Chain A
Amino acid sequence: MSEAFDGNNYAQPTQDGHFGEFGGRFVAETLTHALDGLATLYNDMKNDPEFRRELHHDLTHYVGRPTPLYFAQRMTAELGGAAVYLKREDLNHTGAHKVCNTIGQALLAKRMGKPRVIAETGAGQHGVATATVAARLGLACDIYMGEEDVRRQSLNVYRMKLMGARVIPVSSGSKTLKDAMNEAMRDWVTNVDDTHYIIGTVAGPHPYPMLVRDFASIIGQEARAQMLEQEGRLPNVVVACVGGGSNAMGIFHPFINDTDVDLVGVEAGGHGIASGAHAAPLNDGKVGVLHGNRSYLMSDDDGQIMETHSISAGLDYPGVGPEHAFLKDIGRATYSSATDDEAMQAFRMLNQREGILPALETSHALAWVVANAPLMSKDDIILVNLSGRGDKDILTVADIDGITLT
Chain B
Amino acid sequence: MSLGVKEEASEGAPDTRIKHTFARLKGQGRKALISFITAGDPGPEFTVPGLHAMVAGGADLLELGIPFSDPEAEGPTIQAANERALAKGITLKKVLAMVAEFRQQDTQTPVILMGYLNSILAMADFAEQASKAGVDGLIMVNLPPEEGHELQTQLAANGIDLIYLIAPTTTDARATEIMRNASGFIYYVSLKGVTGTGSVLADEVGVRTSGLRAATQIPLCVGFGIRDAQTASALSQHSDGVVVGSVLVEKLAAGGDPATACHALKDTIESIRHGLDQQD
Give me the interface of A with B, judged by CB distance under 8 Å. Answer: 16, 24-34, 172-173, 178-179, 181-182, 185-186, 189-193, 287-292, 297, 299-305
Contacts and interface: CB of A to CB of B under 8 A. Distances in A.
B92 A28 contact: no
B219 to A, nearest CB: 17
A32 B170 contact: yes
B11 interface: no
A250 B249 CA distance: 45
Contact of A290 (B70, B141, B164): B70
A120 to B, nearest CB: 11
Interface in B127-180: 141-144, 146-147, 164-171, 174
Given A29-B189, A299-B118, A186 B169 contact: no
B73 interface: yes
B9 interface: no
Contact of B73 (A24, A28, A193, A300): A28
Contact of B69 (A289, A291, A305): A305
> Size band of the B side of the interface?
35 or more
Contact of B72 (A28, A29, A191, A302): A28
Interface of B: 68-75, 79, 83, 86, 91-93, 116-123, 141-144, 146-147, 164-171, 174, 189, 192-194, 197-198
A23 B119 CA distance: 18
The majority secondary structure among interface residues of chain B is loop
Given A24-B147, A172-B83, A189-B194, A30 B122 contact: no
Contact of B192 (A27, A179, A189, A303): A189
Contact of A302 (B79, B122, B198): B122
7 closest A-B pairs by beta carbon, nearest first, are A303-B122, A30-B167, A33-B169, A190-B193, A302-B91, A303-B119, A29-B167
Given A182-B72, A290-B70, A33 B189 contact: no
Contacts of A303: 68, 92, 118-123
B143 A26 contact: yes
B118 A297 contact: yes
A290 B193 contact: no
Contacts of A172: 79, 83
A185 B169 contact: no
30 contacts: A25-B144, A25-B146, A26-B143, A27-B142, A28-B72, A28-B142, A28-B167, A29-B165, A29-B167, A30-B168, A30-B193, A31-B169, A33-B167, A33-B169, A34-B169, A178-B70, A185-B73, A186-B74, A189-B192, A190-B192, A190-B193, A190-B197, A191-B192, A289-B117, A292-B142, A299-B122, A302-B92, A302-B122, A304-B119, A305-B70
B198 to A, nearest CB: 7
